[in-house]
Amino acid sequence: MKKIITMAAMAVTLSTAAQDTYQSAQLAGDDLNGTARYVGMGGAMEALGADLSTMGTNPAGIGMFRKSQASVSGGLQVFGGNYESNTLNSYLDGKKTTGSFDQIGFVLTTKAGHDSYLNFGFNFHKSKNFNQLLSAANSLNGASLNKVSFNKWKDVDTDHDFYEPSYSTVDWLNDQLVNPYTVDGDDKYVSSFNSYFHAKDFTQHQVQSGYIGDYDFNISGNIHNRIYLGLTFGIKDVNYESRSLYTETLLFENDIDEMGKMYLDDSRRITGTGFNVKFGAIVRPVDDSPFRIGAYVHTPTWYKLTTSNYTEMATEDFETGKITSISSEDHLDFRLNTPWLFGVSLGHTIGNVAAIGATYEYSDYGSLDNRVIDEDYYYDSWYDDYYYGGDRSTSDKAMKRNTEKSLQGVHTLRLGAELKLCPEVALRFGYNYVSPKYSEFGCRDTDIPSQGVEFASTAAYTNWKDTNRFTCGIGYAKGPFSIDVAYKYSQTNGDFYPFYDGIGKGEYTNNPGATSVSDKRHQLLMTLGFRF
């Protein structure tokens, strides 16, 4: 009975789906991806323009095309960092190297006057690649996921006839295993949960896959080759999958002997669509100089998403070898609004020999807004009738406070240069710096009275730090055809936490500490282009 209660206790914080700060933060922001020329120059082309990838950053860059063009891009990605290959490959089916179809698009140019053009374009590219392999392991020194649940049970008012958490959905364990209660002589439920367990250590293995695909539709043009304006309407398609295996070694009351293990196997999928609008301008302030200044703004992406999961929890008794398991699956529809984004850029060309660019962007991730979809029907007092309200949503205010604490403003700097070795061949180099999205004090707090907590099936989170990207590339163009190749290396370090319970919160201190992890990525990209 003690082990059964252990499982029930550990799962009080784990229900059936996810919609919280850390899950949603993965959907905000873009990777550096697109055409090989754009990637090879570090993406610093928002003032230089004339590349299909600028359709998704500064739409005015498409206004610089003088000939129609089409391109298609794809390549390979290799993932490194912290991972344990045996578990990730054999059990979680993790792949270190994957192929990727990254971009396809075109622009059609039409002359609108003596020295003015009106251009139309479409471009698909993967703005976010979720592929990641992650492993973490560390000692817990007595802390445990079990204690997180115990603290929540202790905080609940137990004077009621039926013991139930004040802000949680019905514990799915009650329906699938054993309800941890006894019945007294008056047929009232009395909690039999009165203990918790320490843990010796933990391991976490996770494999992520999927992408966000951007479908951009652009109209742009120029006025006398001095002022370039552009507008892009974007549709985003989310395809996210994750499989994780979390393990704790539980101890007997003497905190020395190992009692058994707890396993939490979680599979998650997030799908849905969103849309945004981007405005941009590029100006040549001096008539006889190629120096350019660009500026642009992106509205939030307004998402409607569905998250679903299958979660299995098991305990293993070292003495008997018996394994007891339970499982649950569910889904949740929700909305998510990402932050606004603002960017400025500079660009300059030196004859037909060189081009240099610099871009700065800012976005306040603390304004990320998880939203709860209201009931399907609502009452309109003016018309004295009920109406369908499936598209109505309200901000999850409790989760928003956690978002404001855990996420922060992000500064992005992109630098790039291109050097022509001869009219047909160009070399490219680039660098990106992206400041941390997560605050030093950020946490995935499972004690928030929020829908995002009620529908959580895991407790682990990572506070990723700043990102550094280094790029290079080479291009060859002859007549209407071009071929470009780029290489990108990026690295992000982070602090992994198996759970959060606050330092000294409640009756029991339960601080697991941070484990250092890293995410290293190599990308090889090729683009085939045709001008017509």
393-435 pLDDT, tens digit each: 889 898 999 999 999 999 999 999 999 999 999 999 999 999 9
pLDDT at 508 over 70: no
Tens-place pLDDT, residues 153-170: 555 444 433 333 333 333
Give yes or no for residue 371 having a pLDDT over 70: yes
Beta strands in 112-226 (DSSP E): 117-129, 132-139, 181-183, 189-191, 199-223
Helix 145-155 with 2-10: angle, nearest 10 deg: 80
121 token code pair: 């374009």
Q: E strand or H helix at 369, and its extent?
A: strand 369-373
What DSSP letter does each residue of 389-432 carry, written as one string? -TT-EEE-HHHHHHHHHHB-EEEEEEEEEEEEEETTEEEEEEEE
Task: Give Cβ neighbours of residue 514 (< 8 Å, ≥ 6 apart).
Answer: 463, 495, 496, 497
Question: What does the pLDDT look like over 248-280, one tens digit per residue?
Answer: 998 887 678 888 888 889 999 999 999 999 999
Look up residue 152 and give its two tokens: 């929540």
User: Quick one: pLDDT band at residue 348, thresholds 50, 70, 90?
Assistant: very high
Task: Name the DSSP class of 438.
Answer: B
The pLDDT of residue 237 is above 90: yes
Detail the DSSP E strand segments found in 142-198.
181-183, 189-191
Q: 């085939």: which residue's tokens? A: 528
pLDDT grade for 1, boundaries at 50, 70 and 90: very low
With a pLDDT cut of 70, the percent of the chain lying above it is 80
Section 369-388 average pLDDT:
65
As a whole number of angstroms, the distance between CA 137 and CA 323 comes to 22
pLDDT tier at 184, thresholds 50, 70, 90: very low
Q: Dump pLDDT digits (tens) for 460-484.
A: 999 999 999 999 999 999 999 999 9
The band of 147, judged by pLDDT with boundaries at 50, 70 and 90, is confident
What is the per-residue pLDDT across 108-139, written as a single tens digit (0 to 9) for each?
999 887 778 899 999 999 999 999 999 999 99
Q: Is the pLDDT of residue 19 over 60?
A: yes
Instruction: Report in angstroms the alpha-carbon separations of 529 from 106, 234, 484, 503.
Output: 9, 23, 8, 56
Is the pLDDT at 43 greater than 90? The verdict is yes
pLDDT for the residue 143:
87
pLDDT of residue 115: 79
pLDDT of residue 156: 47
Q: What is the pLDDT at residue 181?
A: 32
More confident residue, 232 or 317: 232
Instruction: Identify the domain containing residue 226 by its residue range.
Output: 2-531
Confidence of residue 391 (pLDDT cuts 50, 70, 90): low
Quick check: helix, strand or coil at residue 193? coil
DSSP assignment, residue 299?
A: P
pLDDT of residue 120: 97
pLDDT at 97 over 50: yes
pLDDT grade for 455, boundaries at 50, 70 and 90: confident
Lowest mean pLDDT among 83-92, 381-390, 500-509: 381-390
Buried-exposed string 439-469: b where 16+ CB fall within 10 A, e elsewhere: eeebbbbbbbebbbbbbbbbbbbbbbbebeb
Question: How many whole angstroms separate alpha carbon 312 and alpha carbon 493?
Answer: 29
Q: Model-level pTM? A: 0.86
| CATH number where 354 lies | 2.40.160.60
- Rounded mean pLDDT of 186-198? 50
Whether residue 456 is predicted with pLDDT greater than 50 in this model: the reply is yes
Among the residue ranges 200-209, 382-391, 520-529, the one predicted with the least confidence is 382-391
The pLDDT score that the predictor gives to residue 180 is 34
Place of tokens 């009275």: 449
Average pLDDT, the chain: 84
Query: Does position 11 have pLDDT exceeding 80, yes or no?
Result: no
Q: How far apart, in whole angstroms, are the C-alpha atoms of residue 134 and residue 244?
A: 9
75-94: per-residue pLDDT in tens?
A: 999 987 655 555 555 566 66
pLDDT, average across residues 179-191:
37
Measured distance CA(199)–CA(196) in Å, rounded? 10
Structure tokens at 241: 């999958």
Spatial separation of the C-alpha atoms in residues 37 and 31, rounded to whole Å: 15
Query: pLDDT-derived band of residue 235, with 50, 70 and 90 as boundaries?
Result: very high
> How many domains, the chain?
1
Q: Are 361 and 355 in contact (CB under 8 A)?
A: no
Per DSSP, 288 falls in state T
